[in-house]
Amino acid sequence: MRTENSQLPQDIIRGYIMDNVSLPDLDDNFDIFDAGIVNSLFAIELMTFLEKAFSIKVTMEDLDMENFKSVNATSDFVLQKKGVQSA
């Protein structure tokens, strides 16, 4: 999946996280919650960002930290969600 400006979900998600936390670089498998570098406010902001950027709706069933713990996990979640919603 690519967006209109041909960015991959990983690029968009990585860019958003790096814009909002103090990290010089970010490995796509780095667990941002386990590392304690984000707070609960950011968790909700990230959820809202995903909904707006990828036109998805995060439901109660989706609320699992495993879905948002890293760039790759979040990207997988978005792709799975887009697949479900467009099916």
Partner 1 sequence: MLKHLLLNNEQKERWQSFHQFALEHVGPAAAGWDRDRGVPRAVVSRCADAGFVGGIIPEEYGGGGWDAVTFGLLNEALGAASSSLCALFTVQTMVAMTLVRWGTDEQKKKYLPPMAKADIIASFAMTEPKVGSDIQAVETTFTPKGDGYLLNGTKKWITYSAIADIFLVFGKNTDGKSMAGIVKSGAPGVTVKPLKEMMGFRGAHLSQIEFDNCEIPPADVVGKPGLVLNYVAPYGLHWGRISTAWSSAGLLRACMETSAAYALERRQFGGPISEHGAIRQLTTDMGVDLEAARHLCIVSCMAEDAHAPEAMEKVLMAKYFSSRAAARAASDTIQIMGAAGCHEENTAARLYRCAKIMQIIEGTDQVLQKVLGKTFCKRHGRKVKKM
Q: Taking the complex as a whole, how short is the minimal distance between the CB of residue 5 and partner 1, in angstroms?
A: 18
User: Shortest Cβ distance from residue 48 to partner 1 (Å)?
Assistant: 4
Instruction: Identify the H or E element spanning 67.
Output: helix 65-68
The Cα 81–Cα 85 span in angstroms is: 6
Residue type, 71: V
Does position 84 interact with partner 1 (CB under 8 A)? The reply is no
- Separation between Cα atoms, residue 55 and residue 12, nearest integer Å: 13
Q: Residue from 4, 5, 25, 40 that binds partner 1 (CB under 8 A)?
A: 40
User: What is d(CA 21, CA 56) in angstroms, rounded to the nearest whole number?
Assistant: 23
* Using rule CB under 8 A, residue 51 touches partner 1: yes
Binding of residue 86 to partner 1 (CB under 8 A): no
Give the binding site for partner 1 (CB under 8 A). Answer: 16, 20-22, 39-41, 43-49, 51-52, 60-61, 63-64
